[in-house]
Amino acid sequence: MGLCIMIINTEKFRDEIKQRKEYVERCLLEFLPPADSYPALIHEAMHYAVFNGGKRLRPIMVFEGAVLGGADKEEVITAACALELIHTYSLVHDDLPAMDNDEMRRGKPTCHIVYGEANAILTGDALLTAAFYLLAENLKAPKVKAENLVRAIRVVAAAAGSQGMIGGQVLDLQSEGLALDFSTLRKLHSLKTGQLFRAALTTGAILSGMKDSGIAALDKYAASFGLAFQITDDILDVAGNQDLIGKPIGSDAKNHKSTYVSLLGMEKSYRLARVAVESCQEALGYFGPEADFLRQLALHTLNRKN
Ligand code: GRG
């Protein structure tokens, strides 16, 4: 599928994303413990961290994986919320003084600035714990099979853990100040950023009962999507608009991090992102027009502003 054929309906696609994001936010509000529930401090901090203007890409992927497998999105609501909570916990901890020491995220002071460092650590812990509670809650969905749910929980735990996102974060922290080679940078980001996208899309598909060949195609798509997303993240950190990103640009340079841009330069980085988006489209060859949303999402990522 040629890239330009898919560029056509940008306006409509943005509206579609907006509606899906609003749906995710309604689900999150329903399934997070209320902000004023006892003990209110931790629940208020969890709400502060979760309702921060994020794009909600990972839950959107859970829903999309499920729908492509023939399930109703209502069947995977709590799993979709779980992926966003894991993502949010990772951001709260990533912003801590001991990690990236960032004071702003999405135009608002970070969790530890508002609630203090100890409470921000606990907020991340509580979000991660709540995520696995909500994953298990997905057993209440009438059509989800217990064996598929256990498989999905295993996938999510592996993606978030020491051989997934946390492993990537450790490599990232270890690499500060070092000039990484391309393959190390690629490995680091496939763990830190790619694994959770893969878990999100395949979780929805697994819960829907999709065949393994379809799940493998979605896994491939999400791995390439993660790469494209990370490269554009690096590009935005250099050339993005601070107001749209919601934090000062140049944080990678501030933290002496190797990035695709520092390693390859702007032009080659953009070209690599484009190749990754083409790989996304190839992976979707397994599906017909029902996967057009994912095709457009990959293209949209290439031109994203935040
Ligand atoms: C602390 C365990 C632990 C992990 C941290 C994900 C991560 C690992 C750190 C986030 C830092 C970062 C800039 C990662 C690169 C790409 C990325 C995951 C960006 C944030 O994701 P978005 O843009 O966030 O989907 P929103 O704000 O839209 O929810």
List the domains of the chain with CATH numbers.
10-302 (1.10.600.10)
Atom of ligand 1 lying closest to residue 230 CA:
16
Of 1-5, 117-121, 242-246, 254-258, minimum mean pLDDT range: 1-5
Q: What is the mean pLDDT of residues 156-160?
A: 98
Tell me, what's the pLDDT at 184? 96
Atom of ligand 1 lying closest to residue 88 CA:
29
Q: Which two tokens stand for residue 171?
A: 């490599």
Could you give the residue ranges of the DSSP H alpha helices within 32-145? 40-50, 57-68, 77-94, 111-115, 117-137
**For residues 143-178, b (16+ Cβ closer than 10 Å) or e, as one string?**
ebeeebbebbbebbeebbeeebbbbbbebbeebeee
Q: What is the mean pLDDT of residues 284-293?
A: 97
Adjacent-strand bridge partners of 105: 108
Asked if residue 220 has its Cβ within 6 Å of ligand 1, the reply is no
Tell me, what's the pLDDT at 123? 99
Position 251 confidence tier, pLDDT thresholds 50, 70, 90: confident
Q: Which two tokens stand for residue 283?
A: 């992976």
Q: Are 77 and 27 in contact (CB under 8 A)?
A: yes
Asked if residue 189 has its Cβ within 6 Å of ligand 1, the reply is no
Ligand 1 centroid – CA 193 distance (Å): 7
Ligand 1 centroid – CA 143 distance (Å): 32
pLDDT in tens, 78-92: 999 999 999 999 999
Q: Are 196 and 87 in contact (CB under 8 A)?
A: yes
For 20, half-sphere exposure in the C-beta direction (CA atoms, 13 angstrom radius) is 22
The mean pLDDT value of the chain amounts to: 95
Tell me, what's the pLDDT at 20? 98
Atom of ligand 1 lying closest to residue 96 CA:
1
Atom of ligand 1 lying closest to residue 237 CA:
13
* pLDDT more than 70, % of the chain: 97
By C-alpha distance, which of 172, 185, 191 is closest to 255? 172
Pocket test for ligand 1, best of 90, 106, 163 (most atoms within 8 A of CB): 90
Residue 133 has pLDDT above 70, yes or no: yes
pLDDT in tens, 95-113: 999 999 999 999 999 999 9
Tell me, what's the pLDDT at 253? 84
Ligand 1 centroid – CA 184 distance (Å): 19
Q: What is the mean pLDDT of residues 172-191?
A: 95
Q: What is the mean pLDDT of residues 137-151?
A: 98
Q: Are 148 and 112 in contact (CB under 8 A)?
A: no
Atom of ligand 1 lying closest to residue 172 CA:
8
Nearest CA to ligand 1 atom 26: 54
Q: Which amino acid is at 3?
A: L
Q: Are 111 and 49 in contact (CB under 8 A)?
A: yes
Between these two residues, 155 and 243, which has the higher pLDDT value? Answer: 155
Q: Are 66 and 73 in contact (CB under 8 A)?
A: yes
Residue 1 has pLDDT above 60, yes or no: no
Asked if residue 55 has its Cβ within 6 Å of ligand 1, the reply is yes
Atom of ligand 1 lying closest to residue 53 CA:
27
Asked if residue 252 has its Cβ within 6 Å of ligand 1, the reply is no
Q: Which amino acid is at 25?
A: E
Ligand 1 centroid – CA 238 distance (Å): 16
Ligand 1 centroid – CA 127 distance (Å): 15
How far apart are the C-alpha atoms of 233 and 95, rounded to whole Å?
16
- DSSP class of residue 209 equals T
Position 2 confidence tier, pLDDT thresholds 50, 70, 90: very low
Atom of ligand 1 lying closest to residue 87 CA:
6
Ligand 1 centroid – CA 239 distance (Å): 18
Between these two residues, 227 and 253, which has the higher pLDDT value? Answer: 227
How far apart are the C-alpha atoms of 118 and 201, rounded to whole Å?
33
Residue 6 has pLDDT above 70, yes or no: no
